[in-house]
Amino acid sequence: MSKGKVCLAYSGGLDTSVILAWLLEQGYEVIAFLANIGQEEDFEEAEKKALAIGATKFVVVDVRKEFVEKVCTSLARPVIAQAQIKVAEENGCFAVSHGCTGKGNDQVRFELSFYALKPDVVVIAPWRDPEFFQRFAGRKDLLDYAASKNIPVAQTKAKPWSTDENLAHISFEADKPETFSVVFEKGLPVKLILDDSKKEITDPVELFIEANSLARRNGVGRIDIVENRFIGIKSRGCYETPGLTILRNTHVDLEGLTLDREVRAIRDQFVTPTWAKILYNGSVTILGRSSDTEKLYDETESSMDELTGFSPEDTSGFIAVQAIRIKKYGEAAREKGKPLDL
């Protein structure tokens, strides 16, 4: 006997395909919902896969207009959540489900949106269910399960990662970049290492001269603006601050690695990291970061393949507390006959 209908946010990828099969194993009837947010997707193939796994129904909703007009680059999740709640209600689903990891931000974005739009909705989050995450400890287990169920997936054990695409994403073909590293101590750049020549510069003046040269020939640090002057007139200004632009960008990004969020405003103290950078046609791209002093970042804490630091179950309580005010806001809106919109 079915436990009821669940509307699953389905992408056709590894995680949600396994979750679809797992929900069926748990006794749920599943409506697979896929949002078109501008990604290059074979929707017919995704439908075939979902139905082959066992979904009762497959629904695609085009939310590109809402995405561009209401949200754009800030968040696609509320747009998807709104469409998913609508599909769930239209198909008599008592619950919604998603494939977000129990350690990430998307689970919060989805679920707070769900609760705002439908305060009494039931959310099934497999990656926070011990029965699920203890069975599937990571991508390897997901791939093994998919193979046992004959579920076709693009990922392999060598390349298990997935992609997230929408209208806001842009790709381009790169030219040959210039790469280098900057070493900081106590917030100050003390060494510039040129990767191509293996040259190391430690003199502060020479370091800034070389940083200026690197950035200038790559078009970094140029702005063209219309500004307001103190005397009340507007003026067009064209400015170039090449070396300082890349040094500032590297330092600001390092703060995310070395500083707790509550003390990040302190900024320029206690930073002793090595910085890898890349320059390409007017842009500065961070290649990597490391530090001899910070201990705040631990890659295992955010890894899907390891359970360290905290249990995914803990996140359920966090979301429940965060949702209290949002549910009340959603309930008040419904009582007034004006359900929330984006």
Where in the sequence numbering do the catalytic residues fall? 15, 77, 106, 162
Length of the chain: 342
Separation of CA 49 from chain center: 25
What phi, psi does 106 have (nearest 5°)?
-60, -35
State the Cα–Cα distance between residues 130 and 197, nearest whole angstrom: 52
Q: Hey, what are 147's tokens?
A: 């193979």
Is residue 125 within 8 A of residue 95, CB to CB? The reply is no
**Exposed e or buried b per residue across 55-89, where buried means at least 16 C-beta atoms within 10 angstroms of its C-beta:** bbbbbbbebeebbbeebeeebbbbbbbbbbbbbbe
- Name the residue among 289, 246, 245, 288 with its Cα closest to residue 271: 289
State the Cα–Cα distance between residues 197 and 301, nearest whole angstrom: 37
Residue 122 DSSP class: E
- Helix (H), strand (E), coil (C) string for 226-283: EEECCCCCEEEEEEECHHHHHHHHHHHHHHHHHCCCCCHHHCCCCCCEEEEEEEECCE
